[in-house]
Amino acid sequence: MSNVRTVSDTKRAFYTLHTRPINSFYRRVVDELIVEMHLLSVNADFRYDPVYGLGVATAFDRFMQGYRPEQDKDSIFNAICQSLEQDPQKYRQDAEQLCSEAVTLSVDDFLTRVKQLSNENTGGLFGYLRSIAEQPTFKYSRLFAIGLYTLLEIMSPEVVKDETKRNNALTALAEALNISFDKIQKDLELYRSNLDKIAQAQQVMSDILEADRKKKAERAQAKDAIVTPQDSQEST
């Protein structure tokens, strides 16, 4: 009998750990992240690495932006990781470490060193990348690609906004890490598109809520305007 956990097992564990209802607008984001991480976790070739951890943390933070109540976000993230029997603090700490390193690098310096990973004997970001490049069975994932993209974005927001520069950088990374550029490009195009869509949807929701607040305020003012004269007449 197989002991491999199912998606249902993981989802059940998640909702046991996070017992508050998930805001309906974000429920799909949470479910898809759980499923994606689960399928990777049961893949024989998958090995956690900090770039993947950065991708998970970034994807969660970006897609859950604007979630209310705000204080539930940490509980949701922790429950996602713990439902997969993983440590949420490790994800956050690894993400923070890589971001701290990325801040000190330019894209040009980063790519120059990436192209010479075999010469890297240090730990940290380049040590992780060298280890990945040397794994013959490295399991690529969309979340790993998001981690790479986040590093580039931190080093130079201008580069990731320029399609040619972005693709040149991703091509260099793909070649150095022995992974498919086409897969990275496709996954990141979808990621960027989804970020735009969710930002637009959040703006629509914000506009609706603001309009609703204004209507309530107007109704309250109108009610006060009616009640006040009556009160004045009764007092006389």
19 found inside a domain = yes
Q: Where are the beta strands (DSSP E) in 45-149?
A: none
- List the one residue out of 74, 73, 71, 83 whose CA is nearest residue 34: 83
217 found inside a domain = yes
CA dist 77 → 30, 80, 86, 173, 188 (Å): 9, 5, 11, 29, 22
60 found inside a domain = yes
The predicted pLDDT at position 211 comes to: 84
Number of structural domains the chain divides into: 1
1 found inside a domain = no
26 found inside a domain = yes
- Domain of residue 186, residue span: 7-235
Predicted confidence (pLDDT) at residue 233 exceeds the cutoff of 80: no
pLDDT mean over 211-227: 80
pTM (two decimals): 0.87
Predicted confidence (pLDDT) at residue 235 exceeds the cutoff of 70: no
C-alpha span between 107 and 172 (Å, rounded): 11
71 found inside a domain = yes
pLDDT digits (tens, 9 = 90+) for 11-51: 999 999 999 999 988 999 999 999 999 999 999 999 999 99
90 found inside a domain = yes
Are the CB atoms for 101 and 122 separated by under 8 Å?
no
113 found inside a domain = yes
